[in-house]
Amino acid sequence: MRVFAYRTVLAGGVFALALALSSQDGEANQQRHARTQSIPQATSISITGQTLTPYGWADFCNRYEAECPANVLPAEDLELTPRLWSAIRRVNLLVNATIKPRSDTDHWNVLDRWDLPADGYGDCEDYVLLKRKLLMAEGLPRQALLVTIVKDENGEGHAILTVKTDRGDFILDNMNDDVKPWARLPYRFVKRQSQTDPNVWEQLGEPTSAPLIVSR
Protein backbone atom coordinates (compact mmCIF):
# COMPACT_ATOMS: atom_id res chain seq x y z
CA MET A 1 0.00 0.00 0.00
CA ARG A 2 2.79 2.39 0.87
CA VAL A 3 4.67 1.65 -2.35
CA PHE A 4 1.53 2.31 -4.40
CA ALA A 5 0.91 5.63 -2.63
CA TYR A 6 4.54 6.61 -3.04
CA ARG A 7 4.49 5.97 -6.80
CA THR A 8 1.21 7.88 -7.12
CA VAL A 9 2.80 10.88 -5.48
CA LEU A 10 5.87 10.66 -7.72
CA ALA A 11 3.71 10.52 -10.82
CA GLY A 12 1.97 13.72 -9.68
CA GLY A 13 5.27 15.47 -9.10
CA VAL A 14 4.63 15.95 -5.38
CA PHE A 15 7.05 14.52 -2.84
CA ALA A 16 5.26 15.47 0.39
CA LEU A 17 3.81 12.03 0.97
CA ALA A 18 7.10 10.35 0.24
CA LEU A 19 8.70 12.51 2.89
CA ALA A 20 5.90 11.72 5.29
CA LEU A 21 6.34 7.98 4.74
CA SER A 22 10.08 8.31 5.13
CA SER A 23 9.69 10.19 8.41
CA GLN A 24 6.95 7.87 9.61
CA ASP A 25 9.07 4.79 8.99
CA GLY A 26 11.96 6.29 10.90
CA GLU A 27 10.37 8.13 13.81
CA ALA A 28 9.28 5.01 15.68
CA ASN A 29 12.85 3.68 15.74
CA GLN A 30 14.82 6.92 15.59
CA GLN A 31 15.79 7.06 19.25
CA ARG A 32 16.71 3.37 19.27
CA HIS A 33 18.83 3.82 16.12
CA ALA A 34 20.56 6.82 17.65
CA ARG A 35 21.54 4.68 20.64
CA THR A 36 22.50 1.51 18.79
CA GLN A 37 23.90 2.71 15.45
CA SER A 38 27.27 4.35 15.86
CA ILE A 39 28.25 6.84 13.20
CA PRO A 40 31.41 5.69 11.41
CA GLN A 41 34.37 7.89 10.62
CA ALA A 42 35.33 8.51 7.00
CA THR A 43 37.87 10.57 5.09
CA SER A 44 37.39 13.16 2.36
CA ILE A 45 37.84 12.41 -1.33
CA SER A 46 40.70 14.31 -2.98
CA ILE A 47 39.68 16.96 -5.52
CA THR A 48 42.28 17.44 -8.24
CA GLY A 49 40.71 20.03 -10.55
CA GLN A 50 37.72 21.02 -12.63
CA THR A 51 36.37 18.74 -15.35
CA LEU A 52 33.59 18.42 -17.92
CA THR A 53 29.96 18.33 -16.86
CA PRO A 54 28.30 15.01 -17.77
CA TYR A 55 25.87 15.26 -20.66
CA GLY A 56 23.23 13.49 -18.57
CA TRP A 57 23.27 16.24 -15.93
CA ALA A 58 23.14 19.03 -18.52
CA ASP A 59 20.21 17.35 -20.27
CA PHE A 60 18.45 16.78 -16.94
CA CYS A 61 18.84 20.47 -16.09
CA ASN A 62 17.28 21.48 -19.40
CA ARG A 63 14.16 19.57 -18.37
CA TYR A 64 14.22 20.27 -14.62
CA GLU A 65 15.54 23.80 -14.19
CA ALA A 66 14.41 24.00 -10.57
CA GLU A 67 16.71 21.07 -9.69
CA CYS A 68 19.78 22.89 -11.04
CA PRO A 69 19.94 26.36 -9.47
CA ALA A 70 22.62 28.60 -10.92
CA ASN A 71 23.36 30.52 -7.72
CA VAL A 72 26.74 29.91 -6.10
CA LEU A 73 26.73 29.07 -2.38
CA PRO A 74 29.57 28.66 0.13
CA ALA A 75 30.75 25.07 0.56
CA GLU A 76 29.05 23.43 3.51
CA ASP A 77 29.72 20.07 5.14
CA LEU A 78 26.84 18.48 7.02
CA GLU A 79 27.17 18.25 10.80
CA LEU A 80 26.45 14.55 11.10
CA THR A 81 24.23 14.16 14.16
CA PRO A 82 22.56 10.84 15.05
CA ARG A 83 19.24 12.25 13.81
CA LEU A 84 20.65 13.17 10.40
CA TRP A 85 22.56 9.89 10.13
CA SER A 86 19.27 8.09 10.71
CA ALA A 87 17.53 10.25 8.07
CA ILE A 88 20.25 9.57 5.49
CA ARG A 89 20.09 5.82 6.07
CA ARG A 90 16.29 5.88 5.99
CA VAL A 91 16.10 7.71 2.65
CA ASN A 92 18.69 5.39 1.12
CA LEU A 93 16.68 2.34 2.17
CA LEU A 94 13.34 3.85 1.12
CA VAL A 95 14.44 4.72 -2.41
CA ASN A 96 16.34 1.47 -2.91
CA ALA A 97 13.29 -0.52 -1.82
CA THR A 98 10.71 1.48 -3.78
CA ILE A 99 12.30 2.20 -7.18
CA LYS A 100 12.63 -0.79 -9.49
CA PRO A 101 15.73 -1.09 -11.72
CA ARG A 102 15.24 -0.49 -15.43
CA SER A 103 17.88 0.49 -17.98
CA ASP A 104 17.51 3.69 -19.98
CA THR A 105 17.41 1.61 -23.17
CA ASP A 106 14.35 -0.28 -21.91
CA HIS A 107 12.86 2.74 -20.15
CA TRP A 108 13.38 5.55 -22.66
CA ASN A 109 14.85 3.84 -25.72
CA VAL A 110 18.05 5.88 -25.31
CA LEU A 111 21.49 4.95 -23.96
CA ASP A 112 21.57 7.47 -21.11
CA ARG A 113 18.86 9.71 -19.65
CA TRP A 114 18.96 11.22 -16.18
CA ASP A 115 15.51 11.66 -14.68
CA LEU A 116 13.42 11.60 -11.52
CA PRO A 117 11.84 8.11 -11.40
CA ALA A 118 8.23 9.33 -11.45
CA ASP A 119 6.86 6.00 -12.69
CA GLY A 120 8.75 3.97 -10.09
CA TYR A 121 11.51 2.75 -12.46
CA GLY A 122 15.03 3.96 -13.11
CA ASP A 123 18.74 3.22 -13.14
CA CYS A 124 21.56 4.42 -10.91
CA GLU A 125 21.45 8.16 -11.60
CA ASP A 126 17.66 8.23 -11.15
CA TYR A 127 18.01 6.72 -7.67
CA VAL A 128 20.64 9.37 -6.92
CA LEU A 129 18.49 12.28 -8.11
CA LEU A 130 15.54 11.17 -6.00
CA LYS A 131 17.66 10.64 -2.88
CA ARG A 132 19.17 14.10 -3.37
CA LYS A 133 15.73 15.67 -3.74
CA LEU A 134 14.27 13.96 -0.68
CA LEU A 135 17.25 14.78 1.52
CA MET A 136 17.15 18.45 0.48
CA ALA A 137 13.43 18.47 1.26
CA GLU A 138 14.33 17.24 4.75
CA GLY A 139 16.57 20.27 5.18
CA LEU A 140 20.01 18.94 4.24
CA PRO A 141 22.05 21.54 2.31
CA ARG A 142 22.53 20.94 -1.39
CA GLN A 143 26.26 21.76 -0.98
CA ALA A 144 26.63 18.51 0.99
CA LEU A 145 24.71 16.32 -1.49
CA LEU A 146 26.83 15.71 -4.57
CA VAL A 147 26.01 13.56 -7.59
CA THR A 148 29.14 11.49 -8.23
CA ILE A 149 30.36 9.41 -11.18
CA VAL A 150 32.51 6.33 -10.62
CA LYS A 151 33.71 3.27 -12.51
CA ASP A 152 32.59 -0.02 -11.02
CA GLU A 153 34.60 -3.22 -10.68
CA ASN A 154 34.17 -3.88 -14.40
CA GLY A 155 35.17 -0.35 -15.44
CA GLU A 156 31.57 0.59 -16.30
CA GLY A 157 29.99 3.93 -15.42
CA HIS A 158 27.91 4.19 -12.26
CA ALA A 159 26.29 7.10 -10.37
CA ILE A 160 26.15 7.43 -6.58
CA LEU A 161 25.39 10.21 -4.11
CA THR A 162 28.17 11.60 -1.93
CA VAL A 163 27.19 13.20 1.38
CA LYS A 164 29.87 15.61 2.61
CA THR A 165 30.00 15.68 6.41
CA ASP A 166 32.18 16.78 9.28
CA ARG A 167 33.04 13.07 9.67
CA GLY A 168 34.11 12.60 6.05
CA ASP A 169 32.44 11.57 2.78
CA PHE A 170 29.69 8.92 2.81
CA ILE A 171 28.02 7.20 -0.15
CA LEU A 172 24.39 6.39 -0.94
CA ASP A 173 24.29 3.67 -3.58
CA ASN A 174 21.42 1.77 -5.20
CA MET A 175 23.68 -1.29 -5.20
CA ASN A 176 24.03 -1.25 -1.41
CA ASP A 177 21.50 -0.53 1.35
CA ASP A 178 24.26 0.44 3.79
CA VAL A 179 25.56 4.01 3.80
CA LYS A 180 29.33 3.57 3.72
CA PRO A 181 32.49 5.68 3.85
CA TRP A 182 33.63 6.25 0.27
CA ALA A 183 36.94 4.40 0.70
CA ARG A 184 35.13 1.16 1.60
CA LEU A 185 33.56 0.86 -1.85
CA PRO A 186 35.26 -0.97 -4.75
CA TYR A 187 34.88 1.95 -7.16
CA ARG A 188 37.26 4.21 -9.07
CA PHE A 189 35.99 7.71 -8.29
CA VAL A 190 35.99 9.90 -11.40
CA LYS A 191 34.07 13.18 -10.93
CA ARG A 192 31.37 14.87 -8.90
CA GLN A 193 29.53 18.14 -8.50
CA SER A 194 31.24 21.11 -6.92
CA GLN A 195 29.99 21.96 -3.45
CA THR A 196 29.55 25.60 -4.38
CA ASP A 197 27.87 25.16 -7.79
CA PRO A 198 26.02 21.94 -8.78
CA ASN A 199 26.54 22.79 -12.45
CA VAL A 200 30.33 22.72 -12.10
CA TRP A 201 32.02 19.33 -11.89
CA GLU A 202 35.34 18.39 -10.31
CA GLN A 203 37.83 15.64 -10.98
CA LEU A 204 38.46 13.10 -8.22
CA GLY A 205 41.91 11.63 -7.73
CA GLU A 206 44.29 10.97 -10.59
CA PRO A 207 42.99 11.70 -14.11
CA THR A 208 41.12 8.91 -15.84
CA SER A 209 38.77 8.77 -18.79
CA ALA A 210 35.18 9.38 -17.80
CA PRO A 211 32.60 6.72 -18.63
CA LEU A 212 30.42 7.64 -21.59
CA ILE A 213 27.24 6.59 -19.79
CA VAL A 214 26.18 5.62 -16.26
CA SER A 215 23.69 2.79 -16.26
CA ARG A 216 24.11 0.37 -13.35
| 216 within a domain of the structure (yes/no) | no
Domain range for 167: 2-204
Whichever domain contains 125, its CATH number is 3.10.620
Report how many domains make up the chain.
1
In a domain, 214, yes or no: no
Proportion of the chain above pLDDT 90, given as a percent: 75
Would you say residue 31 lies in a domain? yes
Q: DSSP letter at 198?
A: T
- For residue 209, being part of any structural domain is answered with no
Q: What is the pLDDT of residues 167-196, one digit of tens each?
A: 999 999 999 999 999 999 999 999 999 999
User: 113 burial class (0-12, 13-18, 19+ CB within 10 angstroms)?
Assistant: buried
Q: What is the pLDDT of residue 24?
A: 52
Asked whether residue 213 is domain-assigned, the answer is no
Q: What is the pLDDT of residues 105-148, one digit of tens each?
A: 999 999 999 999 999 999 999 999 999 999 999 999 999 999 99
Question: Has residue 89 been placed in a domain?
Answer: yes
**pTM for the whole thing?**
0.86
Mean pLDDT, residues 7-33:
49
Does 210 map to a domain? no
